Structures are given as C-alpha cells and as structure tokens.
Amino acid sequence: MPVASAKLRMSSVLTVGIGLALGLALCAGNTRAQGVADAPFRAELAFRYAPIHHQDVHTRGEHSLRGAADYITAVDFDGDDDASNNWDNAGDPRFPLAAHAYFSVVESASHWFITYLFFHPRDWSSTFFETEHENDSEGVLLAVARDGTRFGALRAAVTVVHSDFYSFLPVGSPWRTGRESVDGKLSFMPFAGELHPVTAQQAETHALKAWPYHRIRRQGVVYYPSLTEAEVPTSPDDRQVSYRLRDMLEPGGLWSRRDNRKLFARFGVFAGNASSGCGQSAIWCTKNAARASWGWNDHDDQSPTGAMASHPAALVRAYFGAREQVSQAYLFNPFR
Ligand SMILES: [Ca+2]
Ligand SMILES: [Ca+2]
Ligand SMILES: [Ca+2]
Ligand SMILES: [Ca+2]
C-alpha cells in the first residue's frame, strides 16, 4: 500500500507537472492567438489606433458636389466593383457617401504595421491649373512595437501625399530621423477610452498628413472610427461623423479583389477614365491615377513601389533610426 500511495502521490505530482506544462503551453498559445492572423484581433488592433481624421472641405467649384466630393467613402459606394463609374456616381443621390476607411495589419517578430486607406471617388480641382482624376486613395502607415502589452506602443507614422511620403513621430518615441527627415509630430486625442492619432486631409486632392500639418480651414468634417457604423455627413461642416473600418484582408475584401480588372486597371492601380467631365474645368484628367496601398510609392525615396504593404519593416528602417530592433521576419503578411 505505501508503495501504491507513493505511486499515487508521484502520479499526482506528474499530473500537476503536466497540467502546469499544458497551462504554460496554452498561455503561449494565447499569445500566438493574439497575432494578427486572427481577424477579430486585427480589427481590435486597427480600431485601437484608428485615426481621428480631419477632412478639409471645399464647396465651391464645378466638381465639388457642394462639398461631398471631399467625403471619404467605400470603393464600392455605388454598389458595384466598377471603378470607372465612380466619378460619375459620386453625384448621384442614390449613392450617399457613407464614411469608410480600409485597414490592413502586417506582423513581424517585433512590430505591427497598420495601414489605413481613405478613399474618395474624385480627386478634383476648383482651379483651372490643376489636373483631376477619377478615384483617390491616400493613407497612413503606423508602426507599433509589440512590447508585450495587448496593443503595443505606437512608434511612428508615415503618410501618403500623392507620390511623396511624410513621416511623423509621437512625443517620447525612441525612433529618430533616418535616411528621410522627420516632418513633424504626431498628435493624439482621446476617443473611446484611448489616445488616438489625429490625421488630416486637404480638400480637393486629399493629401494626408498628421494634424495640424493639414487642417480644416473653413468648413470640414471630423471623422471618428467605428467597427460597425458608416455615417454620411449631414453637412460639409459636420464635426462628428463615424467612419467604418473595413479589413482589406478579409474574405472578399479589397486585397482579394486585386485582380478584378474593372476595379484595378493593373496591380495596385484603380481603374479610372475621363467620363462625366473629369478634367473639363482643369488642365486634364489623368486616367488610372489612384493607387491602393500595395501600389503607393514615394517617387524619390529608395523604397520600391508597394513597400508600405509588402515590406513595411524595411520601409520604416530606411525612414527612421530606431533605437530598438525592427525585425523583418514576418509572421503575418499576405502582401508578400
Ligand atoms: Ca463603381
Ligand atoms: Ca469614369
Ligand atoms: Ca489625391
Ligand atoms: Ca519609392
């Protein structure tokens, strides 16, 4: 009996030991489950850092749609995947411009790279000496250090101003100027219990920078993130509008439609033409001019087209001097 009881005790110790090991393994499993291959966590992370977004609005000009041409919306706001009727349909009261933004999250061993894409059906001009084009897509890349907390720590932002990128740092970031000079400070505002970065787009051509490097001058819309609500501004001066975050990488999402030639004339380039007067009150209308995030490019940096999506770790390593390791080993990156 004593032998048996000793065996029993032994097996209890073993059971506890195996239990502990299993528990640790499960904990490790949980840590992995919080990687961004997990779509619900991707959405949570994107919401956590989603910008409070200021959109300057111009109401004058033949192509302004009395301000609505500066509203952010979905790529398929008109209910189809044809991007070459978006200029035309933007003025159609059947298709209200409900606020959307697209996001993607890429994960390396050390960082998350979150991209937000803001889409407008028109890049337009109120003056003659400019070009116009159908569809417009500008955005921002955020680099977040995976520091062991649930949502990590935001280190830097790179924004898209047509074919130039601008870089911004939050106060206190251990990152510094690298090969590219830092263009300013990233500001934050409280929303939904957290501090969110604040970004801003110009009217008409929709260049995007950290606020207040662009800002609302007279009339404008202030957009706040939501995972469910896509509101239409009640006026060109509506300062409280919810935009709905859409995951580019979800099944049926924007990335999965990258080879749809109605939507994209070629890889990363939205299809657009000169129908319905695009360019008529300006110098001309540029065809196939807007790019999705996997087609964004700074024309005179040393990073290739699409690096924000396919190789964001390399892009931020080139742009910034980071006083921490920025791993280029991707654990989740469907753009590669
Ligand atoms: Ca369309
Ligand atoms: Ca068109
Ligand atoms: Ca633009
Ligand atoms: Ca480049």
Query: Which ligand approaches the C-alpha of residue 73 most closely?
Result: 1
Task: State whether 287 and 312 are in the same domain.
Answer: yes
Is a pLDDT exceeding 70 seen at residue 9? Answer: no
Task: State whether 3 and 143 are in the same domain.
Answer: no
Residue 122's pLDDT is what?
98
Task: State whether 188 and 90 are in the same domain.
Answer: yes
Ion ligand 2, residue ranges at CB < 5 A: 84, 87, 134, 273, 275
17 phi and psi angles, rounded to 5 deg: -60, -50
Distance 160 CA to ligand 3 centre (A): 9
Asked if 69 contacts 248 with a C-beta cutoff of 8 angstroms, the reply is no
Distance 194 CA to ligand 4 centre (A): 33
Query: Which ligand approaches the C-alpha of residue 80 most closely?
Result: 1
Query: Which ligand approaches the C-alpha of residue 278 most closely?
Result: 2
Mean pLDDT score, 125-143 = 95
Mean pLDDT score, 177-191 = 97
Torsion of CA 159, 110, 304, 47, to 10 degrees: -40
Is a pLDDT exceeding 50 seen at residue 277? Answer: yes
Name, in order, each residue with C-beta under 8 angstroms of 123's C-beta and a sequence gap of 6 or more: 132, 133, 134, 135, 136, 204, 205, 206, 289, 290
Question: Range of 5's domain?
Answer: 1-33
Which pTM was predicted? 0.90
Distance 265 CA to ligand 2 centre (A): 12
Task: State whether 175 and 296 are in the same domain.
Answer: yes
Task: State whether 23 and 169 are in the same domain.
Answer: no
**Domains identified in the chain, total number:** 2
Least confident of 27-36, 66-75, 122-131: 27-36
Task: State whether 176 and 318 are in the same domain.
Answer: yes
- The end-to-end CA distance of the chain, in Å, is 64
Distance 164 CA to ligand 4 centre (A): 8
Query: Which ligand approaches the C-alpha of residue 314 most closely?
Result: 4
Distance 17 CA to ligand 4 centre (A): 54
Give the pLDDT band (50/70/90) at residue 33. Answer: very low
